Amino acid sequence: MLNHPKSKQKTTLLRYWTTRYVITLCVGLVIIGIISALWIRQSTIEHRLHTMTIIAEEWANRIIHNDQDQLETRGGELPEFQPERFNSNIYITNLDGRIIQQRTIGFQFVRAIPQDILQKDNETQKIQLSGRRGETETLYLVKVPVIWETIHIGWVVVTQPEREVAAVDQEYHLLIVMLISLALLGWGVIYYISRKLSDPIKSVASAAKQIQAGEYTVKLNENDINEKEVYELVHSFKDMAGRLDQLEAIRTELLAGVTHELKTPVTSISGLLQALKDEVVTGEEAAEFLDISLKETNRMQMMIRDLLEFNSFASGQFPVKKEWESINHVVFDIVNQWNLTEGNNNWHPRVIVNPLENDVSIPVDILRLQQIIINLLNNAKQALEGEGEITISLNLNQDFVVIFVEDTGAGIPQSDQEMIFERFYRGENKKYKVRGLGLGLPFSKMLAKAHNGDLQLVESKPHDGTTFKIELPRNDSGNIVEKKG
C-alpha cells in the first residue's frame, strides 16, 4: 500500500478571498489614511496661515484708514490702540521692530521683534520662541507692512503656536470613522461576493465526490446563477455528469453485448463439435456442421481482430503511411473491390460514384482509407434493408478533398446521432438486428483523424437516408513514404 505524503491543510475559498481582501483593504486604507491625514494637516495649516494673513492685512488697513488724523498729527508715527481679542498674538511694531501695541496669549515677544524676522522676504515664517522659564515653542508668524502714503511706517505681526495651527483632531476623527466604515463595507461586500461564488463551486466539488464514488446522478441548480463563468462551470459539469451516467449505462450494456457476441459463436461451435463427436450427424450433414463451425470461428476471429486493431491504433501502435495517390482512382478501386466481395451475397446494392471532374493526387494511406469507405458501405447496405442505392460523391475545396457517402436507407434515429462515434455504441436499430462490437464508426473516425482529416455525420432523416463525409487534406507532409508522379 502506497503511503501518500500528508497534504497541507487547505483553506476554504470564502476564507481565502475574504482574509486576503481584508488584509489588502486594511493596508490600502492605512496608506490612504496616512496620505489623507498629511494632506488634511497641510491643507489646514495653509488655510489658517491664510486666515492669519487676512487678519494682519485687515489690521494694517484699519490703522491706515481709521487713524488717518493721528498719523498726520504724529508725522507718520503709529498711534497706540487696543487690538480686538483674537485667538492669536497680534503685534503692532515700528520699523525697528519695537512693539507699540500687542495682544498676546501664551508665548510672546517682550519688547521688540528681531530684525532678522522682519527683514526676511517671506511673509509667512516658522520660528521657535524661548519662554521665560527656558521652554521653547514653535510658532507660525505672519508679517504685513503698514504703509502710509507710500511710506513704510511699521509692521503688523500675527503669531500662533504650531500645535494650534495644525490642530485637526476633529478632521482626524471624521477620517478614522470614514476609513473604518469603508473597511466594514468592503469586508461585507467581498464576503457576500465570495460566498455567492463559493457556494456553487462547493456544490460542484460535492458533486465531483459523488461521481468519484460512482454515483453519476447529481443535482446542481444553475438557474439562480447570474455570473457567466460560474454558470458555464456548473452547467458544463452537470452535462458532464449526465454524459458519464449515459456512458456508464452504455458501457454496462455493451459489456453484456460484447460478452454475448463472443459467447454465441463459442456456444454454437461447442454444440456442433459435440454433435460430431457423439456421431449425432454423419455424412453431408456432418460436413455442413463443420462448415458452420468454421464460419463461426472466422467470425469470432474477426471480432477479436477488430478489438486488437482498435486498441493498437488507439494507443498509437498502428502507423499511417501515406503516399501520393490519385483520389478518383483510389475510390473506384475500393468500390470495385467491395462490389466483388459483396457480389456473392443474395442482394447487393448499386453503388454510384461521382468522381472529381479534374482528378488530383493527395497523400493518403490506401489501406486505411479503404477501411473507412468499406465500413461506411457496409453500414449503408445494412440501412437499405434490401432496396435502394448508395452514392459516393467527391468534391474539392481549397484545403480538403471531401468524399460524401450517401444512402437512401432507414436513417439513424435522432436519439442515436450524438453517440454513433462512441466506441462500443450500437444504436437501437442495430442492437438486435446486426451482430458486431460497435467499433466501426469510432475506428473509421480515428483513421480519418490520423490523416489530419475527419469523418462526420452530415445529416440523417428517418426513412430518408444518411450522409457521411470524409475530409482528407490536399497537402500534408506527415508520414509520406513515397511520392508518386
Q: Can you tell me whether residue 61 is helix, strand or coil?
A: helix
For the cut 80, the answer to whether the pLDDT of residue 436 exceeds it is no
| DSSP bridge partners of 460 | 466
pLDDT value, residue 309 = 64
pLDDT value, residue 471 = 92
Q: What is the distance between the alpha carbons of residues 4 and 385, in angstroms, rounded to a whole number? A: 59
Q: How confident is the model at residue 1 (pLDDT cuts 50, 70, 90)?
A: very low
Q: What is the distance between the alpha carbons of residues 72 and 74, in angstroms, rounded to a whole number? A: 6
| Of 385 and 381, more confident | 381
Q: How confident is the model at residue 332 (pLDDT cuts 50, 70, 90)?
A: very high
pLDDT digits (tens, 9 = 90+) for 469-481: 999 998 865 555 5
Q: What is the distance between the alpha carbons of residues 330 and 337, in angstroms, rounded to a whole number? A: 11
DSSP 9: P
Compute the average pLDDT of residues 343-350: 70
Task: Give the CATH number of domain 78-165.
Answer: 3.30.450.20
Compute the average pLDDT of residues 456-467: 85
Q: What is the distance between the alpha carbons of residues 420 and 376, in angstroms, rounded to a whole number? A: 12
pLDDT digits (tens, 9 = 90+) for 61-110: 887 776 555 554 444 444 454 444 456 788 888 888 888 888 777 677 77
pLDDT value, residue 189 = 80
CATH for 228-311, among 3.60.15.10, 1.10.3470.10, 1.10.287.130, 2.70.70.10? 1.10.287.130
| Of 105 and 260, more confident | 105
Query: Among 2-6, 143-147, 415-419, which stretch is predicted with the lowest mean pLDDT?
Result: 2-6
Which residues, in sequence order, are CB contacts of 482 under 8 Å at separation 6+? 323, 324
For the cut 60, the answer to whether the pLDDT of residue 143 exceeds it is yes
pLDDT value, residue 85 = 46
* Angle subtended at Cα 57 by Cα 56 and Cα 58, rounded to the nearest 5 degrees: 90
How large a percentage of the chain has pLDDT more than 70? Answer: 74
| Of 202 and 34, more confident | 34
* Angle subtended at Cα 474 by Cα 468 and Cα 476, rounded to the nearest 5 degrees: 115
Compute the average pLDDT of residues 372-386: 84
Compute the average pLDDT of residues 210-239: 72
Topology annotation, domain 319-482: Heat Shock Protein 90 (3.30.565)
Please state the domain extents for the chain: 78-165, 228-311, 319-482
pLDDT value, residue 83 = 46
| Of 14 and 337, more confident | 337
* For the ranges 22-31, 190-199, 289-298, the one whose mean pLDDT is highest: 22-31
pLDDT value, residue 250 = 63
pLDDT value, residue 75 = 45
pLDDT value, residue 306 = 61
